[in-house]
Amino acid sequence: MVFIDTHCHLEICKDVDKVIENAKAKDVGVIVTSGGDVKANRLALEFGERFEEVEVCLGIYPVDALKMSDVELDEEIEFILGVDEKIVGIGEVGLDLKHGDDLERQILIFEKFIDLASRLGKVLVVHSRGAEKRAVEVLVEKGVKKVVMHCFCGGLDLVDRIVNNGWYLSIPANVVFDENFQEVVERIDISRLLCETDSPFLHPVKGSRNNEPANVIESYKKIAEIKGLDLGEVEVELEKNFKKVFG
């Protein structure tokens, strides 16, 4: 079996070589690391070159994007355009009203990255904390087809809308104890699910820190439990989903 961590941040994990080694020992064969700022994007590309298991998404985290000028944002978009053959998606990008403000500017920046993903034909990996409804609305308005909603915490009515739009939801390892994510898994068909760790965040053991891609197996196990499936069946289905949206 090959397990897939569709979203993590290797650049802020401790001892990346050890993290990759641990993941391989747990049969995690694909690790998608997502950039969040200019430096993180460069490091993500380095990890993609160093480790055959690592795939790369590039983008600017919404709170960090607010700190950048239009010129700086456009320069980073041009940079991403120049390395499109080295990446599998655009992310993480989106909206954040928990730690960010100026929703109007956030939307304008989000739309820049939506256009970038469309231009490249890449999947868009979306952060939507505290702005879930508006994020979904913007994606619908822009007619985006290839979307992964990362760690989505909106209501079940929005979950239904996401599924009806043909998008995917990525379930983090803390689904082990998080009832919101458990409800999402129970509600939607496995054909719309992916797994992630968001490492080093969202550890499957409550209160623990320094999560890592090896722990993505806990997401798979919980999905298997909720869906009443064998672990191998979940692995097969989620690999199909990954290839469809990131392929």
What confidence score (pLDDT) does residue 185 get? 98
With cut-offs at 50, 70 and 90, classify the pLDDT of residue 100.
Answer: confident
User: What CATH number does residue 174 fall under?
Assistant: 3.20.20.140
Task: Report d(CA 219, CA 203) in Å as an integer.
Answer: 11
In terms of pTM, does the model score above 0.95?
yes
Tell me the per-residue pLDDT of 145-200, one tens digit each, with 9 for 90 and over.
999 999 999 999 999 999 999 999 999 999 999 999 999 999 999 999 999 999 99
Judge whether residue 227 has pLDDT over 90. Answer: yes
Give the model confidence (pLDDT) of 16-36 as tens digits.
999 999 999 999 999 999 999
Query: Longest C-alpha distance within the chain, in Å?
Result: 51
Tally of domains in the chain: 1
The residues, any chain, with a CB within 8 Å of residue 136's CB and separated by 6 or more, are: 128, 154, 158, 161, 162
Nearest-CA neighbor of 92 among 16, 141, 147, 136? 147
In our burial notation (b when 16+ CB lie closer than 10 A, e otherwise), range 82-119 reads eeeeebbbbbbbbbbbeebeebeebbebbebbbebbbe
Segments forming the whole domain that contains residue 116: 3-246
What phi and psi, each to the nearest 5 degrees, are found at residue 9?
-130, 85
Helices (H) and strands (E) in the chain, counts: 10, 8
* Cα distance between the two ends of the chain: 19
